[in-house]
Structure 1
């Protein structure tokens, strides 16, 4: 199980450009038969100025981490 926090991490792990919004919330095939979960970088939450958007991103990050925990071993 690999959790990529942000698009830069996803690029480094997957070897291809992977925007966060499209694949987040679902597991992807990662390198060497691993599972990859792409989610928001915690710094993105801090930089988000709109309080509703910030809450939504925080919830999405928490959901993705729970997903990863449930899939990992």
Structure 2
């Protein structure tokens, strides 16, 4: 079975400042999403983590709750 992957670019609209990319992957019954911050965002003085689970790093991050097999309660 082939893997399916979709990605969405995330930006702050007022300044069109790229924040990062959210990637959704599905392979068979396994599904997960990950986020990576854009280098421009990381170099910005006003940067912030968009979630406490997503450290300000330039590689794909999977939220800790997803890594532990737990989904956050809305």
What TM-score, normalized to structure 1?
Answer: 0.39
Which structure carries more helix by proportion? 1
Which structure carries more strand by proportion? 2
Q: Which has the higher contact order (CA 8 A, sep 6+)?
A: 1
